[in-house]
Amino acid sequence: MILRFIIFSFIALSSNLLSASAISHGPIGVMADHFHKKGEWMVSFRVTNMEMEKNIFNGNSISTDEILKQPNPYAPIPMMMENSESISMMNGVPVKVTNHPHSSEMKMPMKLSVVPKKMTMKMIMLGAMYAPSDRLTLMGMAMFNDKDMILDTYQGMM
């Protein structure tokens, strides 16, 4: 009996609420669904948490040893030093050129040497919409996120 009352109440109240307010619209990012009537406001608050604890390459799990065997795509680029004097272009990428006495030996490792272990991200999105007229709806959104990553670093082969 109580369950029937709850279901009936939900259906009766939701049909009245949905037809009379902005709650009947889809999420803010859905195009062509969000035109409000003059004077309507809508505020949204979304929280997202994400956590990663394993590595995947081409859709398959990959071990630390397999990651360390992968070629480093940045190996041809010289390491950036603090005592650099100019910026040069290498394969369309700006690179600092140094006058270090051993600059020919200061290159990136040929294989990857940093392996991610755990990554967390917390994101908050605040959104607001306002319709100054029936033909125009203004929207604004702000995003705040906090990212944290734990990495294992191995000695690269120089």
pTM above 0.85, yes or no: no
pLDDT at 134: 85
Q: How far is CA 81 from CA 75, 105, 151, in A?
A: 15, 12, 22
Structure token pair of residue 60: 């398959």
Rounded Cα–Cα distance for residues 67 and 116 (Å): 10
Residues 6 or more apart in contact with residue 88 via CB below 8 angstroms: 94, 95, 96, 97
Tens of pLDDT, residue by residue over 34-59, are 677 888 888 888 899 999 988 988 88
Strand (E) or helix (H) holding 65: helix 64-68
Sign for the CA dihedral angle at 29, 46, 14, 23 comes to negative
Mean pLDDT to the nearest integer, 15-34: 57
- Mean pLDDT in residue range 56-84: 80
Which position has the higher pLDDT, 40 or 80?
Answer: 40
pLDDT in tens, 106-153: 677 888 888 899 999 999 999 888 889 988 888 899 999 999 999 988
Integer Cα distance of 110 and 108 in angstroms: 6
Domain boundaries, the chain: 25-70+113-158, 73-108
On the question of pLDDT at 73 being above 90, the answer is: no
What pLDDT is stored for residue 145 in this prediction? Answer: 92
pLDDT at 71 over 90: no
